[in-house]
Amino acid sequence: MTIEPLSYPAGTTGLLIVDPYNDFISEGGKLYGFCEETLTALNTVDHMRQILAASRAAGVRVFIAPHHRWCPSDFSNWRHIAPVQAAGARAQVFAEGSWGGEFHPDFQPRDGDIVAQTHWMSSGFADTDLDRQLKAHNIDRVIIIGLRANTCIESTMRYAAELGYHVTLVKDAIGAFNMEEVRVAVEVNAPSYAAAIKNTAHVVAALGAAQ
């Protein structure tokens, strides 16, 4: 098998930002304290900014895959909920109408950006219009950044690969609750699904070459 060079044609590449909420990546967010170790070690938020800026400069369309925003009625009549959903509900994470449930100021959508329907658990694709939106815009490769490495990032990456997308995981533009979660997601699981696992500098350079 020939490994293709890292290439991001503007017309067929999408930047996929997963859950860029204040609760995750802004100081004072409900989950920021859990994520702070990895956000600091990887310089995650600044790397996310760099990838976003390089994508915009290269003409790559931006897609946001947001988690469901908590509401008091969530799960009230559900037969089963997963532990990660129960934990989020207890903490009222990404609460609708709250500061924590807003996107970080640096990742607010602009005209032409696509905000997909919210996902209820981890995958940005499950029960949302993300796949339809990507296909409608002729996207066949995605660059994935955001939170949380071993849940939403990994699930979205896996689902994208299942659907036939070329996937790039930017390994220092993600975060999690500890570095072991990041390590397992990046080193153990991602190689089965991501066609490219690169750091920010590599991806920014490749995006620059695409201009």
CB atoms within 10 A of CB 98: 16
Asked whether residue 6 is domain-assigned, the answer is: no
Domain count for the chain: 1
Asked whether residue 3 is domain-assigned, the answer is: no
pLDDT at position 6: 85
Give the pair of three-digit tokens for residue 90: 């207890």
Asked whether residue 175 is domain-assigned, the answer is: yes
Give the pair of three-digit tokens for residue 95: 């609460």
Residue whose token pair is 């503007």: 10
pLDDT at position 73: 83
Per-position pLDDT tens, the chain of length 211: 345 668 999 999 999 999 999 999 999 999 999 999 999 999 999 999 999 999 999 999 999 999 999 888 877 788 888 788 877 777 788 999 999 999 999 999 999 999 999 999 999 999 999 999 999 999 999 999 999 999 999 999 999 999 999 999 999 999 999 999 999 999 999 999 999 999 999 999 999 986 6
Asked whether residue 2 is domain-assigned, the answer is: no
Asked whether residue 4 is domain-assigned, the answer is: no
pLDDT at position 178: 98
Residue whose token pair is 């909920």: 81
CA distance 30 to 145: 20
pLDDT at position 210: 67
pLDDT at position 4: 60
Residue numbers of the domain that contains 167: 12-210
Asked whether residue 27 is domain-assigned, the answer is: yes
Asked whether residue 5 is domain-assigned, the answer is: no
Amino acid at 8: Y
DSSP single-letter state for residue 167: E
Domain harbouring 126, CATH code:
3.40.50.850
Give the pair of three-digit tokens for residue 77: 């009549």
Give the pair of three-digit tokens for residue 98: 């709250």
pLDDT at position 211: 66
Residue whose token pair is 């990046």: 186
Residue whose token pair is 């080193």: 187
Q: What backbone torsions phi and psi does residue 166 show, to the nearest 5 degrees? A: -75, 125
